Chain A
C-alpha cells in the first residue's frame, strides 16, 4: 500500500490541533474544517488499501518533480514543508559556485536523513546528509548548475515521510560543463586533499567550515573521467561517527562545507574520493 500524504491536508491537520482561536474568521474555520474532512477521507482511503496517488502538486511546478519523487524519494509519502528551509540566491552569479544552505532544525530529533538535489541538473543529486544527535541538521554547500533549476532538500523523518523544502535558482547556465578552474591552476595535484577551514563558536554550539582542494570532476568536461569526493564523515574524539555525508559531482570544485556541531567536543572530518584517496582534518 502506498500513500501519498497531501501537504495541504497536513497543514489543515496542524491547524485543527491548535486550540481554536476565537479571533479566527469563520472562513478560516470553515477552510480548516474542510481540510479536516479531506484529511479524514484520505486516512479512510489509505486504511481501505486504496493507493492515493494524487500527491500535493509541486509549488514550483517543475516538470521533473514526479520523476525525482519516484526515483530519489522512492515514491514514498511527501509533504512540502516550510520548516525545511532551502536558502539559495535567486540567480546564479557564477553557475560553477552556487551556494546552497539547508536548515531543518525545526525537525531536529525526528530526522533519518536529508537528500539534496537540483531538478534540472544533468547530475541532479548533490548530497545525502545524515546528522547524528550531536550534529544540527544544517548544511551549507556550493554546487554547479547547468541551467535555471529548482533546488530541493528532502528530509526523511522517522515516520517515513519526506518533508521537502525548495528554492529556485535562475542561471545563464553552463556550470556543469565549464572547464575546470582547479585543473588550470599549476600545482593543483600537490594540493589535492589539502583542507582549509575553521571552527567558530555559536553559543554552546560550533560552526565547522572546511574547504577541500579537489577538482570534483563530474565526467562531463573534456575527456576527464569522474574524480570526486563521494564520502565524508564527521567523527568525535573516539572516532565514532557524528554525521555522514555522501557527495555527488554536482558539488563544486574545491568543495566548501559548513556544518554545525551542537557541542564543543573535538571533531575530525574524514573524506574519501571515488579513487580511494582518503583525507582527514581535525578541527
Chain B
C-alpha cells in the first residue's frame, strides 16, 4: 500500500498532541523554604557550579518571617529566582516583604533584586559600588553560564547604605558586621535574638570557596577570627549546609591557610601558574565539589600576588 506523503507528518502531529508539544517549559526553580530557627527560613542552594541545569540555584538565601513583615537576605541569581523566592515566601507567610539586605555583590546573591524593587534594598556602600562597577559584566557572564533562566534579568542597585551596628526588625536584634575578606565589602549578620549567624560567602561549607574579589587571604582569615569570637549557635554559610557548630568556619579557614601555603611555597620554588593549578589537593579538600575548578580559578586570582612578593628587582626601568 502506498502511503500518503503527508501520513508521517500527520502521525507525528497526533503524537505531539497526545504527549504535548516539545516546547521548552519555562524553567522552574522549585524553591522550598525550610524553617531553621524561630521566624527563620532557609532556601538552600546546591553545592554546584552555575549551569544550565540549575539556573544558578547554588546559593543559600534566608528570610525572617515576622509579624512586622519579612526581611530577605540575598535575592538569588536571576529575576526568575527572585520571583520564585517571593512566591515561596508568600506560601510561608501573609506578611509583606519589608526589606532586603544583600551580603555582597556577587551575581548569585543579588540578581534577584528586580522581584523586590518595591521594597528598600540595603547593602554596604562598598557592595553598591562594586555592583555599579561590575554588575552588568557579571550579569552578562551569568547569561553565558546559565542561559535562559536569566531572561529579563537586570542589575538593580541597592537604594540604602548599611552601616555596621544593630538593626531591629520584627522583634529581632540583628547585629550587622562590615567585613571584607571575600569581596572587599562583606556583610555578616548575627541575629542576637535567635543565635543564628548569616555569614554570607565569608563561610563556605562542603564546597570549595571562591576568591575572585578577595583583598587577600589574611583579611579573610581575620574576618573568620571575628566571626568565631561571636556567640552564635547556628551558622548559615553562603554555600553549603548549615551547621550547629563551628565546623564550616574551621573548614573555610583550613582551606584558606592551605591555599596560602600552596601559593607561597610554589612561588618560592619558581613554579609557573599551570604547575600551581595542578598542585595535589589534600584528601580533606579533594572531595569538596569543584575543588580542582576553584583551585584553577584561585591560582589565576591570587598567584600573581605571591609571585610578585617573591620577585626581586632585576633591572630598574632605563
Q: Which residues of A contact B (CB under 8 A)?
A: 87-91, 93-94, 97, 99-101, 140, 142, 172, 190-200, 202, 207, 209-211, 213, 256, 258, 269, 277-283
| A97 in contact with B300 given A198-B310, A198-B311, A280-B315 (CB within 8 Å) | yes
Subset of 24 A-B contacts with CB under 8 Å: A87-B274, A88-B274, A89-B296, A93-B212, A93-B297, A93-B301, A99-B273, A99-B300, A101-B274, A190-B317, A192-B317, A194-B317, A196-B308, A196-B314, A197-B311, A197-B314, A198-B312, A202-B269, A209-B311, A210-B314, A211-B308, A211-B311, A278-B318, A280-B315
Which B residues are in CB contact (< 8 Å) with A258?
270, 272
**Interface flag for B189 (CB, 8 Å):** no
| Given A101-B275, A256-B307: A194 in contact with B313 (beta carbons within 8 A) | yes
- Could you tell me if A89 and B274 are in contact, using CB atoms closer than 8 angstroms? yes
A211 to B305, CA, bound (A): 12
**Which chain A positions have C-beta within 8 A of B212?**
93
- Chain B's nearest CB lies how many Å from the CB of A90? 7
B141 and A172 within 8 A (CB): yes
Partner of A94, one of B144, B300, B318: B300
Tell me if B277 counts as interface (CB < 8 A to partner A). Answer: yes
- Pick the 8 closest A-B CB pairs, nearest first: A200-B270, A99-B273, A140-B272, A207-B270, A281-B315, A281-B314, A93-B300, A87-B274
Residues on B facing A (Cβ under 8 Å): 141, 144, 212, 268-270, 272-275, 277-278, 296-297, 300-301, 304, 307-308, 310-318
Q: B301, A172: Cβ atoms under 8 Å? A: no
- What is the CB-to-nearest-CB distance from A105 to chain B, in angstroms, rounded to a whole number? 14
Output the least CB separation between A215 and chain B (Å): 13
Cβ-defined contact, A191 with B317, below 8 A: yes
| A196 and B313 contact, CB distance less than 8 A | yes
Q: How many A-B residue pairs have CB under 8 A?
A: 94
Assess A279 versus B318: contact at CB under 8 Å? Given A93-B300, A196-B311.
yes
5 A-B pairs besides A99-B274, A211-B308 with CB distance below 8 A are A97-B300, A196-B311, A200-B270, A209-B270, A282-B314
The answer to whether B300 and A89 touch across the interface, beta carbons within 8 angstroms, is: yes
CA distance A195 to B313 in the complex (A): 6
B297 nearest in chain A by CB position: A93
Taken together as a complex, chains A and B put the C-alpha atoms of A191 and B315 apart, in Å, by 10
A282, chain B: closest CB distance, angstroms: 7
Asked whether, in the complex, the Cβ of B270 is within 8 Å of the Cβ of A202, the reply is yes
B314 touches A142 (CB 8 A): no
Q: How far is the CA of A142 from the CA of B275 in the complex (A)?
A: 13
B296 proximity list for chain A (CB < 8 A): 89-91, 93
Q: A89-B277, A142-B273 are in contact. Are A195 and B314 (CB under 8 A)?
A: yes
Which of A99, A200, A202, A210 counts the most chain B CB atoms within 10 A? A99
